[in-house]
Amino acid sequence: MDEIVKAALKKWPSVPHCYGWLALDARGQWFMRDERIQRAGPFPRVKGSLIRHDRLLEFIHRNYECDAQGCWFFQNGPQRVYVELEAAPLVWRVLWRGDALCVQAHTGEEAAVRDAWLDQHGRLFLRSDRGLGIVHSQDMLDAARAIEQGAWLPQPLPFEAMPGRFGYVLEPLPAATARGG
């Protein structure tokens, strides 16, 4: 977390959390969802405004974390902005550097893969030391090469079971309005 963010948290410790205004799709793209967009429909059916500003994206990535309940958020100064997820909290890019396999999150962090999962839609998910993520659709050929070489042995798991099994929340809600308690 950035030092300026830590300082803001100390100075203003009681800023209310923000819900519904930021979302991450299955390709690692961030979307702003203002009130008009939120009224138009749920994410990802209605995505919102794609964030394209490189410095803002870098700031979000450096301050993107998970709370104890499995809700992912962006710490924006003193305000915690919870993130709606299309599929998983991380989106993996699969890269080959010669014969070396590298997996990198949409945030830029490299990770060590522990296991692999296929949902009923044929989407590949990897669990790493950083958490669960979906493999970017453009990297499926490189992921297939990793599977063929025995780097991963994907196991079937329905998408609906993934958040509970891997401890993350697709749609964080304030405690008073949380679905299912």
CA–CA separation, 25 and 10 (whole Å): 31
pLDDT at residue number 181: 41
Q: Which CATH number fits domain 3-86: 3.10.540.10, 3.40.190.10, 3.30.110.70, 3.20.20.80?
A: 3.10.540.10
CA–CA separation, 39 and 49 (whole Å): 14
Return mean pLDDT, the chain: 92
Closest CA to 136 of 67, 87, 100: 87
Residue 180: which pLDDT band, with cuts at 50, 70 and 90? very low
Closest CA to 84 of 39, 19, 130: 19
The residue-averaged pLDDT of 87-95 equals: 97
Please report, for the chain, the start and end positions of each structural domain, with discontinuous segments joined by +. Answer: 3-86, 90-166
Residue 25 scores a pLDDT above 60? yes
Instruction: Tell me the per-residue pLDDT of 128-177, one tens digit each, with 9 for 90 and over.
Output: 999 999 999 999 999 999 999 999 999 999 999 999 999 999 999 997 56
What's the one-letter identity of residue 149? Q
Q: What is the DSSP string of 13-48?
A: TTPPPEEEEEEE-TTS-EEE--HHHHHH--TTTS--
The residue-averaged pLDDT of 12-22 equals: 82
CA–CA separation, 118 and 164 (whole Å): 16
Closest CA to 96 of 54, 148, 133, 60: 148
Contact 4, 66 (CB under 8 A): no
Q: Which burial class, exposed, middle or buried, applies to 44 when counting CB atoms under 10 A from its CB (0-12, 13-18, 19+)?
A: middle
